[in-house]
Structure 1
Amino acid sequence: MKTTANLLVSILEQSHSAIAIYDSIDLNIAFVSQGMLDILCVDRSILGRSFCACFPHFKEEGFSSILKNVWKTGIVYQAERTPANIVHEETKTLRYFNFEYRPLLDEEGKTYAILHTASDVTEQHLAYKNVEEKQEQLMFSRELDVLASTLAHDLKNPLSVLKIGNSFLSKNVGVSVKVSERWFEAFAASIQNIESIINQTLQLGKIRSAEKEVACVAMDKKIRNCIDEIKLVYPDKQMEIKLGDLFPLYTDGGIVYQVFINLIGNAVKYAKKSGEAFLHIYSEKADKGVVYYLEDNGIGIPEDELQKVFLTNERASNTAKIAGSGIGLALVKHLMERIGGTIHLWSELNKGTVVRLFFPVSSRTLA
């Protein structure tokens, strides 16, 4: 007849709960339940062997170091929704776990074993991420609603100018040439504003209807296409555009287009009227991502207004005479946040602006 201890071990071995015990600093596997074997996709041949020898990929992922630190310090380690690659028949599968490494201490407070418990929460994690993504999409949609509403409101001003001017000129046929020219200049500015608002509205429509499609974006081609389009919009603007290293991005190509078409358009639109205008676009590899810079020598932005320009319907005070909706940088900021990136501005009045865009590395996991 089995002793109580042996009976308990036998019961625990068949348990669907994931349990393992390591009884040396070398992480010798002294006990493992069926539940843990199922999670790790191994059999009982791992008993009596070291954790590092059985799971070299876990050593690479840092779990062995954590276990050894728990043994040395006697401090419990807990983690939730932690990614780990499970290897089965040479195939890696990314799973997510809640787990605990609990040191078992003797009377002197020294570790004599580590109790490892775990639960596979991959399905819950993926469901949570799905809900989180849907919430982000809903928030983004609401933000687009605000931007669209702002554009609709902005449209009233240039339309009012056209209506008032048309009414005035139709009722005052004999006005002087000077007065007529002033009205025609106002008409031209209003029409330009309306075109800008319509273009921004179309951009919002494209963004709203498009799902994020992550793929490798050839930035050399993408940026050159943006430059060609901007030159068609501003044929009278002369600007030297210098391109440096343009590293590819693994992200949503549509969002990249919207970001750069707005920023390059701003650099050209707000270039100085006198002197040689230039724009330098280049990228650098950074920790966990790629950074793009756009440097120009345009009219710049007052230092105390740098954060304000990211707000909807806000423009720098020195751009009042230049047509615009005040939505471009707000839109760019929303788009960068949508793909997990960031945008920062440095600017000096009458000297130019530097835009820094950080694009994070994709979180793809290859099997």
Structure 2
Amino acid sequence: MPSSENIKFLIDILYHSPLATAIYVGPDIRFAFVNHEMRKVFGTQENYIGKPFGESFPILKEQEFSKILEKVWRTGITYKATNCPARILNTDLNHSRFFDFEYKALLNENNETYAILHTGIEVTERNLALQTIKTHEQNLSLNNELELITHTLAHDAKNPLSIAKIGIETIKANAQMNQIERNNWLTIIDEAILSLNQIIDKTTQISEAKTFKISKETIYMDEKIHFWIKESKLINKVDNVKVIFGELLPLYSERSGVYQIFANIIGNAIKYSSVNINPTLTIFSEKQNDEIVYTIEDNGIGIPKDEIDKIFSNLQRGSNTLDHQGNGIGLYIVKSIINQLDGRIEIASNLGEGTRVKIYFPDYKPMDKEYL
């Protein structure tokens, strides 16, 4: 047994420790020791010695700290917590603070608990600082989102606007156009305006809320891809591209985002394969595990291998594309939208031989619980 002098020495050390410290004994968790720092935490100078923890601090008992201490006493297993909120009555103010603390079970030679050493430190200021940092990060994320919104409007809105303009100019220039052809052009203009409205609607929703819940629906791709190819041919003034189709599986995704992804990828494929004498585009889809994978392959100019990883960066283009119109925003937007839709994209290319793009979409079904 330690001498009384040694015990007094240890008690003096604990009392003057900068760490808030208390010692509890007995299955009813009675105070045996409380140092000055722990009294500051509790917010009172009342003498707790010999009193049960739960009786002394009913507000902490309500928060189940008493139950934790009782379990430590029964099991002999130490309990640690970090950044733990606690409401403590302090100068008549009931408020939440945050603590890192430990309830350490002290065991005898029979592995029975004879005391619990409670040490802790208040980290409320640290918690507030972390919350401030988190808020700044959220604001930065929002700023990045707004930057993407600006790029999206400036870039992708041009496609449907260009289509509508081409359609109107064509109808104006051909006064003798038959009704069937006129109706075809009016349908193209109507689809272009619908696409533009979807882009604007999505942009408005994102800009009005930090947390934008994506609305998903079944998209029948065999109906859409043919129209998007027609759009791209009109915009790029290319009409001799041979398109080979495989199976075009439906997607369960966000309509505007899917349009923006495919309009950019198909547009690039047609634009950069048009230099070939016989430009060819292959599009098909397949199921792989829990994903639907769309492959879009062209026989165009390709991408230098050492530049493939860079083309998803904002305003980055392949060094061999400078003779073609564009500003490098398209694939940056594509990658950002695919991330929003929980998908991914892979690009493989050989310079002068063409490019293969694989787009992976989660194979969600309308009855999945997440989307009910």
Kindly provide the CA deviation profile for residues 77-105 of structure 1, in whole angstroms up to 9, marking residues without a partner as x.
11100011111354311000000011111
Partner of 1:220: none
1:68 aligns with 2:13: no
Check whether the contact 2:195–2:256 (CA below 8 A) recurs between aligned residues: no
The alignment yields a C-alpha RMSD, in angstroms, of 3.9
1:6 and 1:104 map into 2 onto residues whose CA distance is 18
For residues 264-275 of structure 1, the aligned pairs below 5 Å read none
Matched residue SS, 1:3: helix
Partner of 2:135: 133
Partner of 2:366: 347
The range that moved more, 157-166 or 142-151, is 142-151
Kindly provide the CA deviation profile for residues 320-351 of structure 1, in whole angstroms up to 9, marking residues without a partner as x.
xxxxxxx9xx89x89xxxxxxxxxx8627xxx
Structure 1 residue 155: Cα displacement: 1.6
For residues 163-312 of structure 1, the aligned pairs below 5 Å read 163-207=165-209, 305-306=251-252, 308-309=253-254, 312=257
Kindly provide the CA deviation profile for residues 36-55 of structure 1, in whole angstroms up to 9, marking residues without a partner as x.
00011122411111111101
Partner of 1:23: 25
Kindly provide the CA deviation profile for residues 232-252 of structure 1, in whole angstroms up to 9, marking residues without a partner as x.
xxxxxxxxxxxxxxxxxxxxx
Check whether the contact 2:32–2:50 (CA below 8 A) recurs between aligned residues: yes
2:16 and 2:249 map into 1 onto residues whose CA distance is 68
Distance 1:179 1:38, change over 3 A: same
Specify the code of the residue in structure 1 equivalent to 2:191.
Answer: A
TM-score (norm 2): 0.56
In the alignment of these two chains, the number of paired residues is: 247
Check whether the contact 1:13–1:32 (CA below 8 A) recurs between aligned residues: yes
For residues 47-126 of structure 1, the aligned pairs below 5 Å read 47-126=49-128
1:85 and 1:53 map into 2 onto residues whose CA distance is 16
1:70 and 1:170 map into 2 onto residues whose CA distance is 85
1:14 and 1:354 map into 2 onto residues whose CA distance is 55
1:310 and 1:139 map into 2 onto residues whose CA distance is 23
Check whether the contact 1:21–1:30 (CA below 8 A) recurs between aligned residues: yes
Which of 162, 174, 177 is matched with 2:164 structurally?
Answer: 162
Matched residue SS, 1:159: helix
Partner of 1:149: 151
Specify the code of the residue in structure 2 equivalent to 1:53.
Answer: E
Gaps of 5+ in 2: 221-247, 263-333, 342-363
Check whether the contact 1:18–1:36 (CA below 8 A) recurs between aligned residues: yes
Distance 1:43 1:139, change over 3 A: same
Check whether the contact 1:17–1:35 (CA below 8 A) recurs between aligned residues: yes
Check whether the contact 2:202–2:256 (CA below 8 A) recurs between aligned residues: no
Matched residue SS, 1:49: coil
2:250 and 2:101 map into 1 onto residues whose CA distance is 49
Check whether the contact 1:83–1:94 (CA below 8 A) recurs between aligned residues: yes
Gaps of 5+ in 1: 209-254, 271-301, 318-326, 335-344, 357-367
TM-score (norm 1): 0.57
Check whether the contact 2:30–2:51 (CA below 8 A) recurs between aligned residues: yes
Kindly provide the CA deviation profile for residues 131-169 of structure 1, in whole angstroms up to 9, marking residues without a partner as x.
123223323432443355344433222222223223433
Structure 1 residue 354: Cα displacement: 9.4
